Amino acid sequence: MKPILIKTISSPSRSFSIEERITPGFTMPYHFHQEYELTAILEGQGSRFVGNNISSFENTDMVLVGKNLPHHWHNNKDEIRPGERVKAIVLKFEDNFNGIRIFDLPENYQIRQLLDRASNGLRIVGDTFGRLVSLMQSLLTAAGPERISLFLTILNEIAVSENVEVLSNENCAPARQNNEQDRMNRVYEYIMSNYLQEISLSEAASVACMNEAAFCKYFKKRYNKTFIQVVSEIRISYACRELIREDSNITEVCYQSGFNTISNFTKTFRKITGVSPREYKTKVKKSATSSVGA
């Protein structure tokens, strides 16, 4: 799957765009664009692809994406159950504000550095996540000078925060690395088409037009994780989603998630989440009961 270029039509009455999106699932394709993008996932879970980083997430997520960096949020299941939804706030902006290069001002030096770092994708976590969500919600309804003030405050919060993680370990702009990007896209498509089934290292290597040894080395260098680690993380993210269901059965979830044995499923689940599938299910149930009682 090759990332597509999405062109945004800017409004002469707005220097940047921000919108709240509520949909049954993640609807945007694997894509890139000229704008910077700050996406806050408030409800939803699945897998996130930014540059050469593949990671799973649950319930919340926030990422600042640089210009021309391919990205995509993906549901771990094509079929969304009734009542489930994805809720997100998406802020998009360019370097040039109607001819004004506001980020080149000396006072915005830290923000300029932040935007340079965003070429690799930045994940925002911890206390900074909560503060930014509040600011973005306020920005949705702001007008006039307050809109610009909140916008710069949001970027400055990220620029000075220590709760920021770099996602991609190299620049993956399609225009500069077409051959490598095509190879990454083929691997991406293979993983997302097969992670709930029997998945073959040799077949994945074949998709990348490499032998197994070269593919393993290539994948680890590109993603900072082994092929099996990435597949396991995506499978466990899917399993967590299924275990939330009150009538879910751990054994059934194990095999639905692409694992062949309960022992391997439990071992992998604990390694990634820190708890066993049963402990996770109990923890989620207690949390839901507490919320109702509150």
pLDDT digits (tens, 9 = 90+) for 129-164: 999 999 999 999 999 999 999 999 999 999 999 999
Higher pLDDT, 138 or 287: 138
User: Domain coordinates of the chain in residue numbers?
Assistant: 13-166, 178-287
172 or 167, higher pLDDT: 167
Question: Which token pair is 236?
Answer: 């466990």
CATH class of 178-287: mainly alpha
- Give the confidence band of 78 by pLDDT, cuts at 50, 70, 90: low
Residues 90-115 have pLDDT tens digits of 999 998 876 788 898 899 999 999 99
Confidence at 292, pLDDT banded by 50, 70, 90? very low
Instruction: Tell me the pLDDT band of 24, cut-offs 50, 70 and 90.
Output: confident
pLDDT given at position 288: 56
> Between 3.40.50.2300, 2.60.120.810, 2.40.50.140, 3.40.1410.10, what CATH number should domain 13-166 receive?
2.60.120.810
Beta bridge partners of 179: none
Q: Provide the whole-model pTM.
A: 0.68
Same fold, 13-166 and 178-287: no
Percent of the chain with pLDDT over 90: 46
* More confident position, 284 or 3: 284
At 164 the pLDDT is 96
Q: Is residue 2 very low, low, confident or very high in pLDDT (cuts 50, 70, 90)?
A: low
Identity of the highest mean pLDDT range in 6-15, 139-148, 281-290? 139-148
pLDDT reading at 294 higher than 50? no
